[in-house]
């Protein structure tokens, strides 16, 4: 259980890291928090010839407000995201969900960018990026581009990034007024990857009707799963128990495709999705009402 040999680079600027990446191509792998990459290297599931360590690049580690968005550098640690006051105030969904990501010792090292690029279908951050309509900034040697979260996650452990690109920044719009939120998951042990999890958002209009809703699931397919039909069914309605239950039934039966694992069958995951959707929608609705 020891990693195979590799060459090691520790650039101190983003430009240096980008040059190394374009020079060495597929042979080089970026090392962020290492909380997913190093276990895979210890098991020799991956054997990169070269690591480009991003940990000395201080310009990639920040969280700041900018107008009505929050800008988060890709190397911000998950633990900093969890405790940041701007995130708690303007994207409370992310603040509330963050303690569900692994254990404190892992969050101290793991980064927001690493988890997003890793694109594990069971991870919380990709789900939260979709729920919050995040935009992701990628850079390579010749320029930069913005990618919407919806287009970023293209499959199991797969993203829209090109091999020569580095994710540098995450842009999080402030959650709109009159929006309630909720995140719930079921894990065998606190800090483990969850069997099922849901992020729910409900925005009410002046009259207290549902202006828009969002339901995004983890461990429910080959990436974060956005249950658009169930969310759409709530739009324009005065939300009540019956509507919430039928949205939950629709999402858990028709919009997710859980695979099951050693801890759970797909049927049990669907059951959890149904129960968690009802609970999260109720909590989000209540919070949206309180914020009016």
Partner 1 sequence: MTRSNSITITVNEQEYTREVEPRMLLSDFLRHELGLTGTHVGCEHGVCGACTIMFNGESMRSCLIFAVQADGQSITTVEGLAKDKDDLHPLQQSFWEAHGLQCGYCTPGILMSMIPFLKQNPNPTEDEIRHALSGNLCRCTGYQHIVDAVKLAAEKIS
Ligand X SMILES: Cc1cc2nc3c(=O)[nH]c(=O)nc-3n(C[C@H](O)[C@H](O)[C@H](O)COP(=O)(O)OP(=O)(O)OC[C@H]3O[C@@H](n4cnc5c(N)ncnc54)[C@H](O)[C@@H]3O)c2cc1C
Q: Under the rule (CB under 6 A), what is the footprint of ligand X?
A: 29-37, 39, 74, 78, 101-102, 106, 110-111, 113-115, 117-118, 123-125, 161, 166-167, 192-193
Expressed in angstroms, the distance from the first to the final Cα of the chain is: 55
Q: Which does 201 bind (CB under 5 to 8 A by kind): ligand X, partner 1, none?
A: none
Q: Is 109 in the site for partner 1 (CB under 8 A)?
A: yes
Answer for which of 28, 32, 35, 136 binds partner 1 (CB under 8 A) is 35
Q: Which does 136 bind (CB under 5 to 8 A by kind): ligand X, partner 1, none?
A: none
Q: Which does 182 bind (CB under 5 to 8 A by kind): ligand X, partner 1, none?
A: none
Q: Token pair for residue 53?
A: 């360590």
Q: Which does 11 bind (CB under 5 to 8 A by kind): partner 1, ligand X, none?
A: none
Answer for which of 1, 68, 143, 206 binds partner 1 (CB under 8 A) is 1
**Distance (Å, rounded) from C-alpha 231 to C-alpha 216?**
9
Q: Is 173 in the site for partner 1 (CB under 8 A)?
A: no
Classify residue 192 as exposed, middle or buried by CB count within 10 Å of its CB (0-12, 13-18, 19+): middle
Spatial CA neighbour of 191 closest among 97, 71, 102: 102
Handedness of CA 238, 241, 244, 245 (dihedral sign): negative
Q: Which does 211 bind (CB under 5 to 8 A by kind): partner 1, ligand X, none?
A: none
Element (H, E) at 139: strand 135-140
Residue 96 backbone phi and psi in degrees, to 5: -75, -35
CB of 16 to ligand X, least distance (A): 14
Contact pattern from residue 197 through residue 216 relative to partner 1, giving x for each residue in contact according to CB under 8 A and a dash for the rest: --------------------
What are the angstrom distances between the C-alpha of 262 and each of 137, 259, 276?
36, 10, 21
CB of 114 to partner 1, least distance (A): 12
Q: Token pair for residue 181?
A: 């939120």
CB distance 117 to 78 below 8 Å: no
Answer for which of 25, 43, 59, 151 binds partner 1 (CB under 8 A) is 43
Spatial CA neighbour of 159 closest among 120, 132, 197: 120
Handedness of CA 164, 109, 117, 67 (dihedral sign): negative
Q: Is 105 in the site for partner 1 (CB under 8 A)?
A: yes
Q: Is 102 in the site for partner 1 (CB under 8 A)?
A: yes
- Stretch of 49-57, 149-157, 168-176, 177-185 contacting partner 1, by CB under 8 A: 49-57
Tokens 């069971």 identify what position? 122
Q: Cβ closer to partner 1: 190 or 207?
A: 190
Q: Residues for the chain: how many in total?
A: 292
- Which residues are near partner 1 by CB under 8 A? 1-8, 10, 34-35, 38-39, 42-43, 51, 53, 55, 79, 102-106, 108-109, 189-191
């Amino acid at each position: 259980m020891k990693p195979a040999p590799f060459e090691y680079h520790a650039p101190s600027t983003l430009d240096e890291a980008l040059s190394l990446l374009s020079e060495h191509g597929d042979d080089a792998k970026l090392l962020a928090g290492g909380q997913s990459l190093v276990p895979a290297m210890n098991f020799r599931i991956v054997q990169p010839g070269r690591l480009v360590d991003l940990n000395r690049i201080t310009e990639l580690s920040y969280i700041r407000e900018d107008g009505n968005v929050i800008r988060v550098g890709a190397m911000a640690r998950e633990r900093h995201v969890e405790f940041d006051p701007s995130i708690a105030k303007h994207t409370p969904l992310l603040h509330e969900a963050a303690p569900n990501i692994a254990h404190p010792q892992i969050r101290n090292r793991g980064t927001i960018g690493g988890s997003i690029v890793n694109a594990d279908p069971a991870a919380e951050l990709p789900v939260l990026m979709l729920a919050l309509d995040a935009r992701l900034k990628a850079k390579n040697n010749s320029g930069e581009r913005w990618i919407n979260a919806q287009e970023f996650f293209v499959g199991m452990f797969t993203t829209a990034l090109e091999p020569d690109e580095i994710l540098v920044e995450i842009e999080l719009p402030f959650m709109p007024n009159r929006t309630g939120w909720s995140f719930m998951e079921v894990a065998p042990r606190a800090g483990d990857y969850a069997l099922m999890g849901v992020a729910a958002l409900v925005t009410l209009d002046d009259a207290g009707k549902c202006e828009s809703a969002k339901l995004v699931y983890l461990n429910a397919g080959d990436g974060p799963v956005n249950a658009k039909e169930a969310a759409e069914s709530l739009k324009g309605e005065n939300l009540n128990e019956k509507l919430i239950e039928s949205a939950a039934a629709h999402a858990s039966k028709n919009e997710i495709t859980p695979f099951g694992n050693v801890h759970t069958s797909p049927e049990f995951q669907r059951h959890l999705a149904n129960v968690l959707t009802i609970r999260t929608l109720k909590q989000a609705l209540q919070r949206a009402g309180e914020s009016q």
